[in-house]
A and B are shown apart, each in its own frame.
Chain A
Amino acid sequence: MAEDAEMGDGAAMLFHRKQSIYRSLDERYEIHGERYRGQQYSQIYFVRLHHMRNLLRSLVPKWKPNMPVNTVLGLEEGKECILVGTLYKHMKLKPSILDEYSKERSALPLAKPHNFIHHDDHLILEDESGRVKLSGSVLAPAAFVTVALHGKETSDGDFCVQDVLEAGLPPQIELPIGPGEDKYVVFVSGLSVGSSEFNPLQFQLLVDHITGHLGDENEQSIASEIVRLLIAGNSVQISQGLVNGQNIAPKDHSRITEPLKELDIMLTQLVAAMPVDILPGSNDPANFSLPQQPLHRCLFSGASAYNTFVSSTNPHQFELDNVQFLGTSGQNIDDLNKYSDAKDKLEFMERTLRWRHLAPTAPNTLGRCYPYTDKDPFLLESCPHVYFVGNQDKYETRLLEGPEKQLVRLICIPRFSETGVAVMLNLRNLECHALTFSTNLEC
């Protein structure tokens, strides 16, 4: 790999960058084999329910032994039983396409609320036979999650919930006992090249630091231990007014291509030094629906010439020295924020792991999703060791411990253009710290 020559006091120290064995596991998020035949989203919900139902049914005997499992249509009043199905939250404030046809349109506020929570919202459970309204003080989590509920039907026809069983963290392959040396992965997201917040000097500082062109020997030796860089989405920002389908004047062409060219120049510096994975985000020139397909190589004429350049899907799953990584550019967690409250984004991340589903609100409100007919690629079958989410407001991290000794490092990667913060993870012990870059002379 590239060598980082020392710049400074004359003693010729050559640091060799460490390497890690990388394996991409993105096949499940790639769409090229699929053919669209007019199917609707009912197919993906059916597959989701089927998988989760089988899983939950197998967990029920251990949770509540001797309790019968019923279907919604088979409910009997007053009789305690267990239901397994998908939760649906009936939300008054959730925008509906039918509002466009409503005659009282002027009465509704035109601005869509950011958060759909209303005190009148109620939960419904739907299984293969029907739906039932839920009541009870044991509040179940957000919508579209498949859970098992223990309770009984009341005289109102509601199902009063006494207890809730989620699928729980999936099984995890044990963390490999490393060679004992430190190897780092750097995460960054929200570069937003081309936006008004973008600070080229700040980005250049980041590039120079991790490629080893800055700092003294100590800094450079740490930089040589960085084995991979991961860019989690929203690397460019192209002004919305230019991409609304109208013809663009030739003088405006450059406003679209400039951010991409600038990003390519910086990326080329990075890929010349180390392997780089780049994920598409909500602002990037990739498809809108999840899973987002990799950014096309033709966008990066400079960087794509290097074999260290990897354009990946969003979500992105890979393995580095047998450590399992999984992450997104943030859309899945941001969407959950609209449905329920949590004290921080890490809590949402933890919930998606416990529900074993990366994006439960897809395809409902989360940027649509490809209408698969025979699989749901967001179902989590195994637990990653590192779970990252990009484009968040601030850097947050936690080490999550599961009931079966699973260990997951949760990372919220903040938007670099706003915060100047990147994240560094040590593969040896899953410890994490922030790298802050500032060009502000007053700090």
Chain B
Amino acid sequence: MASKDIKGFYRQTKKKGGGGAPDPAQTPALIAHGSLDLVDDYGEEEERLRQFDMDMRYGPCIGLGRLQRWERATAMGLNPPPDVARILQRPSAALECLWDGRV
């Protein structure tokens, strides 16, 4: 019985060319999407914040919240970019640096 099920499964795969693919004729891998294969789980805003994290002018980023680091930079007269502070006000912004929890 079990082997019959497995064979049936394989037959399905051969016919369809991809387990559970929505369109049997066109597999997603063959369609050129015009963008990077690897889609990261963060958007442009987070990218901007990561650039801020990595900017050495404002010192190391580990162990400091992003907003706290921005405020420290302002207090030290380093003129950090105001758009970073604006992004950090939004609820979608991650408040910790990119290494948080990873190091």
Chain A contact residues, CB within 8 Å of chain B: 37-40, 42-43, 46-47, 50, 128, 371, 373-374
Partner of A42, one of B60, B68, B72, B75: B60
Complex alpha-carbon distance, A374 and B72, angstroms: 6
Partner of B64, one of A37, A50, A128: A37
Complex alpha-carbon distance, A50 and B72, angstroms: 12
Cβ contacts A to B, 13 pairs, < 8 Å:
A37-B65, A38-B63, A39-B60, A39-B63, A40-B62, A40-B63, A42-B60, A42-B62, A50-B59, A128-B56, A128-B57, A371-B63, A373-B64
Complex alpha-carbon distance, A373 and B60, angstroms: 9
Is B6 located at the chain interface by the 8 A CB criterion?
no
Verify B59–A47 contact, CB threshold 8 A: yes
- Chain B 20-77 residues near chain A, CB threshold 8 A: 56-57, 59-60, 62-65, 68, 72, 75-76
Contacts of B68 in A (CB 8 A): 373-374
Chain B contact residues, CB within 8 Å of chain A: 56-57, 59-60, 62-65, 68, 72, 75-76, 100, 103
Given known A-B contacts A50-B76, A373-B72, A374-B75, A38 and B59 have beta carbons under 8 A apart: no
Complex alpha-carbon distance, A46 and B59, angstroms: 6
Contacts of B56 in A (CB 8 A): 128
Contacts of B64 in A (CB 8 A): 37, 39, 43, 373
Given known A-B contacts A50-B76, A373-B72, A374-B72, A43 and B65 have beta carbons under 8 A apart: no
Nearest first, the 3 A-B pairs at minimum CB distance are A39-B63, A46-B59, A42-B60
Contacts of B62 in A (CB 8 A): 38-40, 42
CB distance from B51 to the nearest CB of A (A): 18
CB distance from A367 to the nearest CB of B (A): 20
Contacts of A371 in B (CB 8 A): 63
Residue of B nearest to A50 (CB): B76
Q: Is the interface of A mostly helix, strand, loop or mixed?
A: loop
Contacts of B59 in A (CB 8 A): 42-43, 46-47, 50
Residue of B nearest to A39 (CB): B63
Complex alpha-carbon distance, A333 and B31, angstroms: 70
Interface centre among B56, B63, B76, B100 (most CB of A within 10 A): B63
Complex alpha-carbon distance, A236 and B63, angstroms: 36
Complex alpha-carbon distance, A36 and B73, angstroms: 19
Complex alpha-carbon distance, A277 and B36, angstroms: 67
Contacts of A38 in B (CB 8 A): 62-63, 100, 103
Verify B72–A37 contact, CB threshold 8 A: no
CB distance from A373 to the nearest CB of B (A): 5
Contacts of B75 in A (CB 8 A): 374
Verify A373–B76 contact, CB threshold 8 A: no
Contacts of B57 in A (CB 8 A): 128
CB distance from A422 to the nearest CB of B (A): 43
Complex alpha-carbon distance, A47 and B73, angstroms: 10
Complex alpha-carbon distance, A47 and B62, angstroms: 14
Complex alpha-carbon distance, A47 and B75, angstroms: 11
Known contacts A43-B60, A128-B56; can you find 12 more A-B pairs with CB under 8 A? A38-B63, A38-B100, A39-B60, A39-B62, A39-B63, A42-B60, A43-B63, A46-B59, A47-B76, A50-B76, A373-B63, A373-B68
Residue of A nearest to B58 (CB): A46
CB distance from B15 to the nearest CB of A (A): 54
Residue of B nearest to A374 (CB): B72
Complex alpha-carbon distance, A299 and B72, angstroms: 38
Contacts of A128 in B (CB 8 A): 56-57
Complex alpha-carbon distance, A50 and B77, angstroms: 10
Residue of B nearest to A128 (CB): B56
Contacts of A42 in B (CB 8 A): 59-60, 62
Contacts of A37 in B (CB 8 A): 63-65
Contacts of B63 in A (CB 8 A): 37-40, 43, 371, 373
Contacts of A43 in B (CB 8 A): 59-60, 63-64
Contacts of A39 in B (CB 8 A): 60, 62-64
Complex alpha-carbon distance, A373 and B75, angstroms: 13
Complex alpha-carbon distance, A40 and B103, angstroms: 11
Contacts of A46 in B (CB 8 A): 59-60
Residue of B nearest to A129 (CB): B56
Complex alpha-carbon distance, A191 and B76, angstroms: 42
Complex alpha-carbon distance, A40 and B57, angstroms: 17
